[in-house]
Chain A
Amino acid sequence: GAETFHNLQELRHSASLANKVFIQRDYSEGTTCKFQTKFPSELESRIERTLFEDTVKTLNNYYAEAEKIGGQSYLEGCLACATAYLIFLCMETRYEKVLKKIAKYIQEQNEKIYAPRGLLITDPIERGMRVVSFECHAAISPIHWSQKYKFKDV
């Protein structure tokens, strides 16, 4: 009936968080920010391996770009010294810029790829860059199923 459908809608929209999978850091190259690309078994049923690996590899590339020591970082350092670090008040560092790009990328990945599969990636910066967490959302709970589908015979 209408009421069951109403419940269904509500239930459906509140897909429950069933599990969290954490992708740990890969310290094999030192303390540079890099995440393990090993595909966790808990996600095997939720997402394709290639998609997952692409995401993590892209994130790793972003972080590598942020931490790269090169021309731009030299310039930033010199400028900072020259201005007695007052430059940090007005300008955001290169790392921050890349972090914004990463946030946008993660948002986009969530919308396009992960949310349709009931997963959500959280930005690792929120956890101090220690882990990337994948939140696994459960599908509609059984209760709503039974509410909605009442067999005539039953």
Chain B
Amino acid sequence: MPSSGADTPKPSALIPVSTAACLLVGSTTLFFVFTCPWLAVTVSPAVPPCCAILFLFVMANFTMATFMDAGVLPMANEDEDKDDDFRAPLYKNVDVKGVQVRMKWCASCHFYRPPRCSHCSVCDHCVEDFDHHCPWVNNCIGRRNYRYFFLFLLSLTVHMVGVFTFGLLYVLNHMEDLWKLHCTVTLVVISISGLFFIPVLGLTGFHLYLVSRGRTTNEQVTGKFQGGVNPFTRGCCSNLEYLICSPMSPNYTERACKKPAVRVQPPFLRPEIERQIPMKVRDNGIQSSDLQNKGSSAGSVDLSNIKRLNTPPPLPPKPDHALLKSQLAALDEMGHHTKSIIPASIPTVPQLRPVLEAISRGSSPIPPEQLLKTSELQGSNKSPDLKTDSKPSPGRAKQQDPLPVQPSFPTNPVSSPLQLNSLTLNSRSLTLKHNYRHSSKSQLPAMHSEALMSNPMFSPSNVLANRSSSLSYDNLISPADPQLMAQRGGPPVGYHPHFMTLGPDGSMVQRPPPHAYSPVFLGVTRHSPQPRDPSPSMQGLTPRDPSPSLQGFIQREPSPSFQGLMPRDLAPQGITLRDLAPPGLALRDITSQSLSARELGPQGLTPQKSAAVRYDNLSKTIMASIQERRELEERERLQRLHARSQALYGPDTGVYDIPSRRSLPPDNVRPRGPTPPAYGSREFLMSTGILGYGIRSSPLSSSSTSSLTRGPKTSSSPLHSSSSSSLQSKGRSSSPAYCLPDRQAQPLPSSASTLPRMPSSSTSSASSYTSYSTIKRSSLTSSSEGKDSVSLGVLK
């Protein structure tokens, strides 16, 4: 007898089941031995085999009902209920086919009981589709074994009818030697079967009624759907079909949890941020994300890192001039390659690509000193970068073993001097790039373009600056990893800079960007309009270069817009706007792709304009769009929060009294102890009107019971009403089955604590037997009464 709540099956709990088993097996054996031979001869030789088969069916169902797990829901782990245990409401409403069903928090099992689930106090666990706890099989009847219980009842009824009929036939034909052994035995057998026939038939009829209405015993006795609509019924025939033919649901508690562990390596992909990062305009006119990451929680910050794009970086470590210089040297070493665009699809060595592209753009017009200064300025970006860098960049997840943390640069905010817009864009693209390293490329482009599009704050100069900063961090984080570099490079088309990327063999797998973006900086896979691989020109450089920005500047011709911004935003570097055409192209490219989605549009970003003019327009429009987006985002967040709170507490929170669970001290004290007065049982007790509303173990009960509006009087079931009336009139009712819960409640009026034990699970079969026993069989009555009290006492 599965009783998972108890350590060992209590001996007293075994009495009903062993009695039932003995009676059943014993009587039938006697029947076969003493009566069947005559029947085989007289009536038909087919009688014994049919009876045998039927009896076998009865026993099989009895065994299944006894030993099969009813659908026990395992207790929730601590991690699941840490919020719910003390702060969540007792009830949670859920909508089932249009009907509001209340899910109750189970204090023992630490979860909200699914609809139709109830906690069995005898077995001390929650059972799915809980029907009742049957003492005759010493098991809960629930989802998994209800069909066997039902078939047991049916087959037992038929078997009893058969035994009774054939026995009677035998006795009637042997009236003359009524006291012979065979006859006597047959008499005993038919009297037993006749006595138990009525309760069993009653129970069978009751369950047939329940099945036709699609209810469980628990729901019937608690009157859940008495007045209302039962959302769980599928119609009479479908219910029967579901009962008999539905697939057997699995056992939840005995699962072999052996599965190969999936390694979760730190470098994590990050999805495109589709939400707008709220931007606030700082005093100095630089917009910064108001989700500033203070940098200490880089490892665990996910969203904040991503959102934190434009926070002015806290003072970063000083740029390493030596590193810059080494980077420069490395770049110079690469020589000057062709200026042609190197599409990402070209199977160049990944780490060379950015270098190639950078070099293809010609040497930077910016003198190294100025670049150094720029990098210093950008050094301020480093600290946020540092923080975000701690987040492993995506894309490395699977293969990277030696790779150090990918710079999750994309989220690195741009230095304050730089326009935050572009930084946002850059970081996003970086994120994308890393994220999609291993994910399907088809998704990537969409995501990236989405992300990019959603970022109106886009300016090439910022991109460049961002890249430079990120590049520095890239170098820092993954010093000499060419793969890393490669990943950062190769912006795919349009705005999927990060998508690309490294294929399993490390070769760049990217979508050819239509225009290479000025790549200079690592990690920024933003496609630049120029045929430059945005990826780290730094790849060829020694890693650990803290200020790749310098290199970026050196290596290529920054877009004019960028260049224009540089002097504007940073200290004048002496950078002159040059070659407006490519930046214009870049701008157009960028804007058309990313900004078209927004109202930002390419206003003021016509490629033909001068870079300076473009800047002004761009910044203004960008700022406007940023603010707008921020408002939208905040509104959206508020709505979401509101919706969430609504969902949790339900629209009719006011209807139900939802006491905080703190008001139930016993529950909290004993998380897994004996179930406190089973709310279900108390509820149905109250609803049947037996105990009135006096027995309340907690203030909660009043609310819970008040919600159970109906009492037994309103029950349409004749059984119910008779039971309730009998309950009120007599101590021990002799009315049929279902008054059992009520009846059993009565003998223990004083002990409210044990009352609840009387569960909803008190079986109707038990009730039927006991109730009939009171009238009909004194011996049985006493035994059953004894059993009742014993079982009542035994019930935890």
A positions within 8 Å CB-CB of B: 8, 12-13, 15-16, 18, 20, 22, 25, 27-31, 41, 44-51, 66-69, 72-74, 76-77, 81, 84-85, 93-96, 99, 103, 107, 110-120, 123, 125-131, 133, 136-145, 148-149, 151-154
Does residue B435 face the partner (Cβ distance < 8 Å to A)?
yes
- With the chains together, A137 CA to B129 CA distance in Å? 35
Which residue in chain A gives the minimum CB-CB distance to B262?
Answer: A110
* CB-based contact B546/A27 at 8 Å: no
Choose the segment among B387-395, B548-556, B591-599 that binds chain A (4+ C-beta atoms closer than 8 Å): B387-395
Contact B232 A31 (CB under 8 A): yes
Binds A, one of B8-16, B200-208, B249-257: B249-257
Contacts known (A13-B265, A84-B60); A128 close to B252, Cβ less than 8 A: yes
Kindly state the separation between the CA atoms of A40 and B204 in the bound complex, as whole angstroms. Answer: 46
Name the one of A15, A27, A151 contacting B95, with C-beta atoms under 8 angstroms. A27
Residues A142 and B77 in contact, CB atoms below 8 Å apart: no
Specify which of A45, A96, A130 is in contact with B73 (CB 8 Å cutoff). Answer: A130
B310 CB, min distance to chain A CBs, angstroms: 17
With a cutoff of 8 Å between Cβ atoms, the chain B residues found around residue A47 in the complex are 271
Q: Is B177 an interface residue (CB 8 A)?
A: no
Within 8 A of A (CB), among B437-469: 437-439, 443, 447
Q: Which of B183-191, B292-300, B527-535, B563-571 contacts A (4 or more CB under 8 A)?
A: B292-300
User: How far is B254's CA from A96's CA once the two chains are assembled, in angstroms?
Assistant: 12
Closest to A12 in B: B266
Cα distance, A151 to B94, chains bound together (Å)? 56
Which of chain B's residues has its CB closest to A86's CB? B60
B57 x A84 contact (CB < 8 A): yes
Q: Mark B111-139, 1 if CB is under 8 A from A, else 0.
A: 10011100000000000110000000000
What are 23 contact pairs spanning A and B, CB under 8 A?
A30-B232, A31-B129, A31-B143, A41-B640, A46-B271, A69-B245, A73-B245, A84-B57, A85-B148, A93-B248, A95-B249, A95-B250, A113-B439, A116-B394, A116-B438, A117-B269, A125-B255, A128-B128, A130-B73, A138-B299, A139-B392, A145-B386, A145-B477
Contact B266 A69 (CB under 8 A): no
Nearest residue in A to B431 (C-beta to C-beta)?
A45
CB distance from A86 to the nearest CB of B (A): 8
Is B325 an interface residue, CB under 8 A from the partner? Answer: no
Report if A141-B390 is in contact (Cβ < 8 Å); known contacts: A51-B443, A69-B245, A151-B320: yes
Q: With a CB–CB cut-off of 8 A, which chain B residues contact A66? A: 247
Q: In the bound complex, do residue B318 and residue A69 qualify as a contact, i.e. CB atoms below 8 Å apart?
A: no
A94 to chain B, nearest CB (A): 5
Complex CA–CA separation, A33 to B275 (angstroms): 32
Given contacts A125-B250, A145-B386, contact A130 B114 (CB under 8 A): yes
* B425: interface (CB < 8 Å): no
Q: Please determine whether A16 and B437 come into contact, CB atoms closer than 8 angstroms.
A: no
Within 8 A of A (CB), among B223-272: 231-232, 241-242, 244-250, 252, 255, 257, 259-260, 262-272
Residue B46 at the chain A interface, CB threshold 8 Å: no
CB-CB under 8 A for A140 and B270, given A25-B114, A69-B245, A128-B74: no
B505 an interface residue at 8 Å Cβ cutoff?
no
Instruction: Rank and list the top 3 A-B pairs by shortest CB-CB distance, nearest first.
Output: A116-B397, A45-B303, A118-B268
Q: How large is the interface on B (under 10, 10 to 19, 20 to 34, 35 or more residues)?
A: 35 or more
- With contacts defined as CB atoms under 8 Å apart, how many contacts are there between chain A and chain B in the complex? 238
| B64 within 8 A of partner (CB) | yes
With A44-B275, A45-B306 already in contact, the answer to whether A117 and B247 are too (CB < 8 A) is no
Residues of A within 8 A of B297 (CB): 142
**Distance (Å) between the CB of A47 and the closest chain B CB?**
6
Q: Which residues of A contact B260 (CB under 8 A)?
A: 107
Give the CA-CA distance A116 to B477 in the complex, in Å.
Answer: 19
User: CB < 8 Å: which of A44, A115, A142 contacts B397?
Assistant: A115
The chain A residue with its CB closest to the CB of B439 is A113
Task: Pick the contact of A27: B114, B300, B398, B435 (CB < 8 A).
Answer: B114
Q: Is the CB of B306 within 8 A of A127?
A: no
B96 within 8 A of A: yes
> Does B49 make an interface contact (CB < 8 A)?
no
A44 adjacent to B303 (CB under 8 Å): yes
Cβ < 8 Å to A, chain B residues 577-601: none
Do residues A142 and B299 form an inter-chain contact, with CB atoms below 8 A?
yes
Q: State the CA gap A16–B392 with chains docked (Å).
A: 13
Q: Which of the residues B74, B271, B405, B644 comes within 8 Å of A145, measured between beta carbons?
A: B405
- Which of the residues A13, A77, A112, A152 comes within 8 Å of B245, measured between beta carbons? A77
The answer to whether A142 and B60 touch across the interface, beta carbons within 8 angstroms, is no
Contact B266 A154 (CB under 8 A): no
Q: Is the beta-carbon distance between B97 and A30 smaller than 8 angstroms?
A: yes
Name the residue among B80, B250, B275 with the largest chain A CB count within 10 angstroms: B250
Contacts known (A31-B232, A127-B74); A139 close to B408, Cβ less than 8 A = yes
